[in-house]
Structure 1
Amino acid sequence: MESKNSLFGKCPYFTAQKIFSGKWSILILYHLSDGALRYGELQRGIGNITQSTLTKQLRMLEDYGLISRYVYSEIPPRVEYSLTDLGKAFDPVLEQFRIWGNKYIESLKNE
């Protein structure tokens, strides 16, 4: 996936930046943090995201092992996405993003 000389998998900051570089990655993880969601539920929850972008981001997060995709053998097929244990380990980071984001929003109001 990465070149031999890449810092991916060697430097924690570079690795995290690479994994979460997708514009919607953090929001996807946030929405899945409360439990499994179907594709349409996830898309509606996020809002202004195209199908192709959501699909690309979901595949990327699945490739990195942060989410899992479960296809039910039904007609029509039903697909659910959920966090893996590694994805759930990101929950404390999401909480810190929420805290910091609220502080930043508050500082904008005081300008």
Structure 2
Amino acid sequence: MQLSNDYIGAIECPDACLFAVRMTDGGWTIADGPGTHLVDMAKTDLAGWHLPVRFQYAEQAMLAIDTGPGVWFDHSLKSAWGQHALACGADVAPEYMLAPDGEIPGVPLQ
């Protein structure tokens, strides 16, 4: 499985240095960058990665960012940020369904 950070929209939450990003499936999630389509190609290292969850609305993702756990962002579902997003009403995105060993296919757990 190849994962992508080609977001179709991004709203910066500057106080947290994170973004609410719109995915190609229409859902929203939290990322530490605006994605490859929304960043200058000379700065692709700033494109960022996202949590494997989906919120229905941008406002939900932004509220989750604003009330975040206060730790360094980690895109793993098992991270404090992943668990916080789920507690704030996000669902695990279908393409990231957990394998029996608890790992997300294609994404190394940190």
**Normalised by the shorter chain, which TM-score bucket?**
under 0.3
Q: Which has more radius of gyration?
A: 1
Structure with the larger helix share: 1
- TM-score (norm. length: structure 2): 0.24
- TM-score (norm. length: structure 1): 0.24
